[in-house]
Structure 1
Amino acid sequence: MSVREALVQLGGVATRAALIEVTSRLEVDTALASGEIVAPARGRYAVPEADAARTAAHRVSGAVSHESAALHWGWSVKLPPTLPNVTLPRNRKVTAAHRAGLTLHRANLTVDDVVDGVTSRERTLLDCLRLPDTGAALSVADSALRGGFSHRTLVRLAEQARGPGVLQARRLAGAATHLAANPFESVLRDIAADVPGLAVRPQVPIYGPAEFLGRPDLVDEDLRADLKRDARRYNALVVHGWLVLRFAWEDVMFEAAYVREALTQPGVCVSPSAGPSWTSR
């Protein structure tokens, strides 16, 4: 895959080391030089949309917001927004020409809600927790916690919020965790949350009688099954009574119904192809 494709799968932002790990040093340097990716900070890369959002917001005197703001703060998103997210005051009139190429949101932001033309970390999280796509919402919240944002503060923000989407925001704030490694895991966990009888946790270490078997992406310890990234570990898990479900990135991001259907039948081993997995015990 291209460097951009790899960066998208990593959530739209990534460290240099993480990006080189899935591509190569030469490919990353070439992509940076060509503008395929940008470097908002030393050793950290992002999709170009992260910079384009600030230009777009300035054009209409608005604030970069939602997932565009999440990218600005270095948080991973499910998928980079196709158009820049910009928030304007509710009564601000904008011509059709200025609206073109933007995803506009309306809110009367306070002085504390905006930092240098971008919604603050706190406001960005509240906006993202209300996104219609709960997998996208959880991806941002998980990433913020990985980046050091306090879970207690996240929960408090959601509890103090008012208005449409507040119940969803509170639920997702409580469910967010720094343990999710990337948006793929966040989206898969969100899908699993809708499956009756499942209660999955990310990155749970699993041990056999005398050996470490692995750390699956998601595990339900009350059922029974587990992940495996190479054939040897896969066999070890099966020998020890674990059942394995594996999903491709495209399945989790674009085929939620398929993934949900597979999770309702945990006794079936789905696709042993390479990629993150879901397991239960």
Structure 2
Amino acid sequence: MQAEEVLVELGGVATRAELLTRSTEGALRRAVAAGTIIRQSRGRYALPSTARIGQRAELTELAEAGRRAAHEVSGTAILLSATARWGWPSKWLPTKPQVALPRNRKVAPGVRRRLDVRMRDLSSSDREDGWVTSRVRTALDCASLLPPDEAVAVLDSALREGAVDRDELLFAAAGLAPLYRGKVEGLIRFADPQAANPFESVLRWIVSDIPDLDVRPQVRITDDAGLIGIVDLADVQLRIVMEADSFEWHGQKEALERDCIRYNRLVAEGWLVLRFSWDQVMNHPERIRELVRRTVLRATCGYDVHLRTG
């Protein structure tokens, strides 16, 4: 089977080992060379969908805007301008370049209107290329200063890239001020390099505080006929699957057919399947949390929740 076809059946993201169970090393190499499969990080591959290609181009553009802004004001690109430089997808993209300037610097009103300026002192060890925070510094800053769901999306991306690891981040976090240390260490431990994208990362964070629920990203599920697929999130104990659905995967007839077969096989195996759109995840987390809470209650109690809560 072609490596691209295997990757589609695996949900668009898979490890090298998973691909080679049904395709060949040569087919994988040819697909990567042709650009029909992209290598996300060591041993991890994805389909180069139009959305991902557009995302990479957008990150490159944002990184360049951050570089120009940092040089203009003799500052340092930070936070989401820095994540763009390192190629880490995030929940939201900055509307203005984010830069840090020394605390004693005077900033003209026009500069503040054009740039998101943060007053902070950075050491030379915190910077790379003379204009941007290092990967470790960027990850810690985002974990410290962004809302938790946005921070998790960045940390998942950072770990997925593979240039930093969890132990390295935890070691650096130990040197933070007590005001931030506990929050940052908790987020680093929660982060997971298996998360496929910020869409999935944010969904995982939304449901993370629901009692009795323990979801893991990119879970492989099989039945008697073989592999059903690798789902976005799953609680294996409760047999609950959560899918972060985007139109790019389900906008064609063939994709819809595959999706229906996959869904029906999951249900036939006793899985409760919940599907959420991008708008629901990004803009209505409270609705998702309540729906998942009720689903967990039903799974743990074994009868209709409405009989208990109605």
- TM-score under structure 2 length normalisation: 0.70
Give 1:159's aligned residue: 174
Residue in 2 that maps onto 1:56: 69
Asked if 1:249 corresponds to 2:262, the answer is no
* Equivalent residues of 1:87, 1:104 under 8 A apart: yes
Deviations 1:186-214 (A, max 9, x none): 11111111222222111111222452222
- 2:248 maps to 1:219: no
State how 1:100-115 maps to structure 2 within 5 Å: 100-115=113-128
Q: Which residue of structure 2 aligns with residue 201 of structure 1?
A: 216
Rounded Cα–Cα distance in structure 1 between residues aligned with 2:77 and 2:145: 15
* C-alpha distance in structure 2 between counterparts of 1:245 and 1:155, whole Å: 33
Could you say what the CA RMSD is over the residues aligned between the two structures, in angstroms? 2.6
Q: CA deviation at 1:242?
A: 0.7
Aligned equivalent of 2:153, options 122, 139, 145: 139
**Contact 1:243–1:267 (CA<8 Å) still a contact in 2?**
no
> Per the alignment, in what secondary structure is the counterpart of residue 145 of structure 2?
coil
Partner of 1:124: 138
Partners of 2:137 and 2:82 in 1: CA distance: 9
TM-fit CA distance, 1:142:
0.8
Greater shift in the superposed pair: 176-185 or 254-263: 254-263
State the distance in 1 between where 2:150 and 2:87 align.
15
2:56/2:87 contact within 8 Å kept = no
CA distance, structure 2, for counterparts of residue 20 and residue 211 of structure 1: 22
Task: Tell me the CA shift for residue 227 of structure 1.
Answer: 5.3
Q: Distance in 1 between matches of 2:47 and 2:260?
A: 25
- 2:206 and 2:172 map into 1 onto residues whose CA distance is 24
The correspondence for 1:265, drawn from 290, 294, 298, is 294
How much does 1:266 deviate?
Answer: 1.6
How far apart, in 2, do the equivalents of 1:80 and 1:123 lie? Answer: 19
Amino acid at match of 1:74: G
Deviations along 1:122-181, whole A, 9 cap, x unmatched?
Answer: 111110111332111111111111111212112222233224322211101111111001
Does residue 76 of the first structure (1) align with residue 89 of the second (2)? yes
Amino acid at match of 1:168: K
- Residue pair 1:50, 1:68 contacting (<8 A) in 2 also: yes
Cα distance in 1 for residues equivalent to 2:297 and 2:50: 33
Seq. identity, % = 42
Aligned-residue offset at 1:59 = 2.2
Q: Which consecutive segments of 4 or more residues in structure 1 shift more than 4 A?
A: 15-20
Which structure 2 residue ranges, 5 or more long, are not aligned?
A: 1-34, 39-45, 244-257, 299-310
SS in 2 for 1:207: strand
- Identify if the C-alpha distance between structure 1 residues 183 and 257 changes in structure 2 by more than 3 Å, giving closer, same or farther: same
The answer as to whether partners of 2:142 and 2:151 remain within 8 angstroms in 1 is: yes
- Structure 1 255/56 Cα, relative in aligned 2: closer, same or farther at 3 Å? same
Q: Which moved more, 1:255-264 or 1:234-243?
A: 255-264
Q: 1:268 to 1:238 in 2, by over 3 A?
A: farther
Amino acid at match of 1:89: P
What displacement does 1:20 show? 7.9
Q: Of Structure 1 and Structure 2, which has the larger fraction of its residues in helix? A: 2
Q: Distance in 2 between matches of 1:155 and 1:230?
A: 39
Distance 1:185 1:77 in 2: 11
* Alpha-carbon shift at residue 17 of structure 1 (Å): 5.3
Partner of 2:259: 230
Larger radius of gyration: 2
- Distance in 2 between residues matched to 1:185 and 1:38, nearest whole Å: 18
Structure 1 CA distance, aligned partners of 2:225 and 2:155? Answer: 37
Structure 1 contact 227–234 (Cα < 8 Å) conserved = no
Q: 1:23 aligns with which of 50, 55, 64?
A: 50
What SS does the aligned partner of 1:48 have?
Answer: helix
User: Deviations for 1:14-40, whole angstroms, at most 9, x for unmatched residues?
Assistant: x9956984339xxx7xx8xxxxx885x
Tell me what 1:278 maps to.
none
The amino acid that maps onto 2:292 is L
